[in-house]
């Protein structure tokens, strides 16, 4: 390399020499003397030469990314855990601020703003969820849910989870894997008639070993649970907790499951202004009430508000830090590390921008467009929409009489429509969502958000009519 790389300033011969002189060695090689020769790589790495200019790198990357066709250049009805919602420009602006983007583990003094922004994220979430305690985000909704259930096991010192099957299958496998050896899982399926979890089916599975009941609302098929309050009472009567998974954005439309009496809420914050990023933009939240028996079982950082020595000034510090693996290694609760803090700050910005009425309008809009799409698709011969009489939000499941979902999506791709997510990839069985007797291979889960106008939905209908004809 003939010139000093812009990212490596002290590699310049003049600077390097000064530093070697200060250390008192002649070559950089001497600094590696503790690494035995037999461990050395004796050849250059087989990696392409670096680009000689930033412009060439940009050209290369633009060429590669140009082989993508993002959802903005098609009409997409894909959801299933990565939801297309509008990302306000201010969310991107704050997310890209150099200070936030490049800060890390700074203390309460040098990074006061980061601590406040994260405390505000947890506080805004606390208002939305109607819970007093929200963690600094963990990796994603899968981790949040798996941890929430392990928390329930530790809190109750019991050994069994009654878990709804109406959850995306990759997440269920993740939960099973995380609970392996710690908690047993028994499954409760939604009723065929409604797609809803029935309280009686839960009661049948409850006993004095049950740590918690877990269900999601809206569930993987978009159905909003209606029996939450009864299920919460049943769980509590058996000495178990109710853990609910939800998308916080849905609370623009429905009440928080906290109002049912749920004990722990959990899920993903991707919908709150994070964008899609090919499935790379996730953060997990866990929320409880302000009860020490719950708080001491969080593995995540929890930020609290505290006074400083100046009157009227506030600062932010860790709450009950001794819970964490950072303080106690394997004697701490699970583990905590770098996860998704900046996504948390961004989600806080989103909630501050939306405000109470923005959230409510958005929630209602998504509900009404989902219902519009359900009604239009249900009228197409050759398509069955499942559980049309149950409340839905953002997603619903359909089955084709004479086609597989893969065939339908392949045809739609010719018209630049990304059809619904293929149910065979998302569900463990048709019974897991109360679609007994229908083929998963012939089913899709369609996602509709505020970004879909009724014209967009009409275009989907026309495409379906053409394929089904």
Partner 1 sequence: MTLQEDTRTHPFQKTLIRNYQAPRWDEPLIFELNAPGHTGVVSNSDGHSAITKSAPENSVQRKTAPNLPEIGQAQVLRHYLRLSQETLGADLNVDIGQGTCTMKYSPKVNEKFAGSSLSADMHPLQDVSTAQGTMEIIHNLQDYLKEISGMDQVSLQAGSGSAAIYGAVKSVQAYHEAQGESTQRDEIITTIFSHPSNAATAKTVGYKVITLYPDENGYPDLEALKSVLSERTAALFITNPEDTGVFNPEITDFVDAVRQVGGVTFYDQANANGLLGIARAREAGFDMCHFNLHKTFSTPHACGGPAAGALCATDELAPYLPGPQVVRTPSRFEWSEQGKYSTPDIRPFYGVVPNLVRAYAWIRALGAEGLRQVAETAVLNSNYLHAELSKIDGLSIPYASGEYRIEQVRYSWQELAEETGISTGEIGARMADYGFHYWTSHHPYIVPEPMTLEPTESYSKQELDEYIATLKLTAEEARQDIDTVKSAPHRSSIHTIDQEATTDPETWATSWRAYRRKYLGEQRSEPSTWVAPANLPIPQRAPKAHHR
Q: Which stretch binds partner 1 (CB under 8 A): 199-207, 310-318, 394-402, 458-466?
A: 310-318
> In whole angstroms, how close is the CB of 56 to partner 1 at the nearest point?
9
Q: Which strands, in side-by-side order, build the sheet including 383-385?
A: 383-385, 395-400, 443-447, 421-422
Q: For partner 1, which residue of 144, 149, 151, 156 counts as binding (CB under 8 A)? A: 156
Q: For partner 1, which residue of 75, 128, 144, 467 counts as binding (CB under 8 A)? A: 128
Q: How do beta strands 241-245 and 264-268 pair?
A: parallel
HSE-CB at 421 with a 13 A cutoff on CA atoms is 20
Does position 327 interact with partner 1 (CB under 8 A)? The reply is yes
Q: For partner 1, which residue of 59, 204, 308, 429 counts as binding (CB under 8 A)? A: 308
- DSSP for 114-127, please give it: HHHHHHHHHHHHHH
Q: How do beta strands 383-385 and 395-400 pair?
A: antiparallel
> In whole angstroms, how close is the CB of 411 to partner 1 at the nearest point?
12
- Segment 354-373, which members bind partner 1 (CB under 8 A)? 354-365, 367-371
Q: With respect to partner 1, which residue has the nearer C-beta, 64 or 469? A: 64
> In whole angstroms, how close is the CB of 382 to partner 1 at the nearest point?
22
Q: Which stretch binds partner 1 (CB under 8 A): 184-192, 231-239, 395-403, 458-466?
A: 231-239
CA distance 403 to 193: 24
Only one residue has tokens 């590669």, namely 64
Interface with partner 1 (CB under 8 A), residue total 233
Q: Which of 120, 146, 92, 141 has its CA nearest to residue 248?
A: 141
Q: For partner 1, which residue of 216, 247, 263, 430 counts as binding (CB under 8 A)? A: 263
Distance of CA 336 to the CA centre of its chain: 17
Q: With respect to partner 1, which residue has the nearer C-beta, 90 or 461? A: 90
Convert residues 100-119 into a mask of x (bound to partner 1 by CB under 8 A) and - (unbound): xxxxxxxxxxxxxxx-xxxx
- Is residue 149 reached through a cis peptide bond, with omega within 30 degrees of 0 on the bond before it? no
- Assigned token pair, 384: 């069955």
- Segment 399-428, which members bind partner 1 (CB under 8 A)? 409-410, 413, 418, 421-422, 425
Q: For partner 1, which residue of 269, 341, 442, 463 counts as binding (CB under 8 A)? A: 341
Q: Which of 240, 244, 164 has its CA nearest to residue 207?
A: 240
Q: With respect to partner 1, which residue has the nearer C-beta, 255 or 469? A: 255
Q: With respect to partner 1, which residue has the nearer C-beta, 376 or 392? A: 392
Is 23 in a helix, a strand, or coil?
A: helix
HSE-CB at 321 with a 13 A cutoff on CA atoms is 7
Q: For partner 1, which residue of 203, 251, 405, 435 counts as binding (CB under 8 A)? A: 251
Does position 379 interact with partner 1 (CB under 8 A)? The reply is no
Q: For partner 1, which residue of 183, 197, 264, 349 counts as binding (CB under 8 A)? A: 349
Only one residue has tokens 């609302």, namely 217
> In whole angstroms, how close is the CB of 222 to partner 1 at the nearest point?
11
Q: With respect to partner 1, which residue has the nearer C-beta, 309 or 437? A: 309
Does position 459 interact with partner 1 (CB under 8 A)? The reply is no
Q: For partner 1, which residue of 26, 59, 93, 200 counts as binding (CB under 8 A)? A: 93
Q: For partner 1, which residue of 160, 198, 282, 394 counts as binding (CB under 8 A)? A: 282
What residues contact residue 392 under an 8 Å CB cut-off, 6+ apart? 218, 222, 223, 224, 367, 370, 371, 374
CA distance 57 to 52: 8
Does position 259 interact with partner 1 (CB under 8 A)? The reply is yes
CA distance 343 to 62: 26
CA distance 125 to 251: 11
Q: With respect to partner 1, which residue has the nearer C-beta, 216 or 422? A: 422
Burial of 167-206, coded b for 16+ CB within 10 Å and e otherwise, reads bbbebbebbeebbeeebeeeebbbeeebbbbbbebbbebb
Q: With respect to partner 1, which residue has the nearer C-beta, 107 or 401? A: 107
Q: With respect to partner 1, which residue has the nearer C-beta, 12 or 469? A: 12
Q: Which secondary-structure segment (H or E) carries 420?
A: none
What residues contact residue 459 under an 8 Å CB cut-off, 6+ apart? 75, 417
> In whole angstroms, how close is the CB of 220 to partner 1 at the nearest point?
13
Q: Which stretch binds partner 1 (CB under 8 A): 197-205, 234-242, 394-402, 457-465?
A: 234-242
**CB under 8 A, 24+ apart: contacts of 98-106:** 100/342, 100/345, 101/342, 104/338
- Segment 6-65, which members bind partner 1 (CB under 8 A)? 7-11, 15-16, 18-20, 22-25, 28, 30-36, 38-41, 44-51, 54, 57-58, 60-61, 64-65
Q: With respect to partner 1, which residue has the nearer C-beta, 336 or 377? A: 336
Q: Which stretch binds partner 1 (CB under 8 A): 199-207, 257-265, 378-386, 429-437?
A: 257-265
Q: For partner 1, which residue of 290, 429, 458, 462 counts as binding (CB under 8 A)? A: 290
**CB under 8 A, 24+ apart: contacts of 60-66:** none
Q: How many CB atoms lie within 10 A of CB 306?
A: 11
- Segment 183-222, which members bind partner 1 (CB under 8 A)? none
């Amino acid at each position: 390399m003939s010139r000093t790389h812009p990212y490596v300033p002290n590699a310049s011969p003049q600077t390097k020499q000064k530093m070697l002189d200060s250390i008192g060695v002649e070559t950089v090689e001497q600094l590696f003397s503790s690494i035995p020769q037999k461990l050395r790589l004796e050849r250059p790495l087989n990696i392409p030469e670096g680009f000689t200019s930033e412009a060439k790198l940009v050209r290369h990357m633009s060429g590669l990314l140009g082989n993508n066709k993002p959802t903005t250049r098609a009409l997409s009805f894909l959801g299933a855990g990565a939801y297309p919602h509008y990302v306000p420009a201010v969310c991107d602006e704050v997310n890209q601020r150099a200070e936030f983007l490049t800060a890390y583990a700074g203390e309460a003094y040098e990074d006061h703003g980061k601590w406040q922004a994260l405390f505000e994220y947890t506080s805004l979430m606390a208002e939305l969820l109607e819970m007093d305690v929200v963690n600094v985000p963990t990796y994603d909704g899968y981790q949040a849910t798996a941890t929430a259930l392990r928390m329930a096991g530790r809190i109750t010192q019991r050994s069994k989870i009654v878990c709804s099957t109406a959850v995306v299958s990759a997440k269920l496998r993740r939960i099973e894997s995380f609970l392996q050896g710690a908690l047993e899982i028994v499954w409760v399926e939604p009723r065929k008639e409604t797609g809803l979890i029935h309280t009686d089916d839960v009661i049948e599975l409850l006993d004095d070993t049950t740590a918690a009941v877990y269900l999601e609302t809206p569930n993987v098929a978009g159905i909003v649970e209606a029996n939450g309050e009864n299920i919460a009472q049943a769980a509590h009567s058996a000495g178990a907790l109710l853990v609910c998974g939800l998308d916080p954005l849905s609370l623009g439309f429905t009440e928080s499951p906290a109002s049912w009496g749920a004990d722990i809420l959990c899920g993903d914050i991707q919908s709150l202004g994070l964008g899609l990023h090919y499935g790379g933009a996730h953060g997990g939240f866990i929320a409880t009430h302000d009860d020490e028996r719950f708080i001491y079982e969080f593995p995540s950082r929890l930020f609290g508000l505290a006074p400083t020595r100046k009157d009227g000034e506030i600062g932010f510090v860790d709450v009950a830090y001794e819970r964490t693996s950072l303080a106690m290694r394997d004697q701490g609760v699970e583990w905590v590390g770098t996860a998704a803090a900046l996504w948390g700050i961004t989600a806080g910005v989103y909630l501050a921008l939306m405000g109470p009425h923005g959230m409510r309008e958005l929630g209602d809009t998504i509900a009404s467009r989902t219902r519009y799409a359900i009604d239009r698709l249900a009228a197409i011969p050759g398509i069955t929409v499942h559980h049309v009489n149950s409340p839905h939000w953002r997603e619903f499941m359909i089955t084709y009489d004479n086609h597989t979902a893969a065939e339908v999506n392949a045809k739609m791709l010719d018209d630049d429509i990304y059809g619904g997510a293929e149910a065979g990839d998302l569900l463990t069985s048709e019974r897991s969502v109360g679609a007994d007797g229908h083929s998963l291979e012939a089913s899709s889960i369609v996602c509709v958000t505020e970004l879909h106008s009724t014209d967009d939905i009409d275009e989907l209908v026309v495409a379906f009519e053409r394929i089904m004809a």
